[in-house]
Amino acid sequence: MKLDPTQILIAPVVSEKSYHMINTRQYCFRVHQDAHKLQIRQAVEAQFDVEVESVNIVSVPSKPKRRGRSSGRRPGWKKAIVKLREGHSIEIFQGAQV
């Protein structure tokens, strides 16, 4: 599937664990379900003007949820952990208190 680089990265993952990973030059993003490692690498390099060292992908499974008698499932999603080369950083995470 041909995806535009702006469609691949959906949002940064904002959590305590993801902010601690910034110290090791690793950044977490929620990505398109059909995106693969090469597409994610190219999208990060194009949008943030950085060099990517490695990309790891985690499929977050769907969770069962209940509200009263009705039950359903939250959808699963795909998370990418991107490690940048030495000397590079992403500006959207600069204001984060680590």
Tens of pLDDT, residue by residue over 7-25, are 999 999 989 999 899 989 9
Domain ranges of the chain: 5-86
Q: What is the pTM of this model?
A: 0.85
Q: Which CATH number does 5-86 carry?
A: 3.30.70.330
| Radius of gyration of the chain, Cα coordinates, nearest whole angstrom | 15
**What pLDDT digit, counting tens, does each position of 24-44 carry?**
999 999 999 999 999 999 999
Asked if the model's pLDDT at residue 55 lies above 60, the reply is yes
pLDDT at 96: 53
Asked if the model's pLDDT at residue 64 lies above 90, the reply is yes
Task: Answer for the pair 30, 11: CB distance below 8 angstroms, yes or no.
Answer: yes
Asked if the model's pLDDT at residue 50 lies above 70, the reply is yes
**Structure tokens belonging to residue 82:** 């991107």
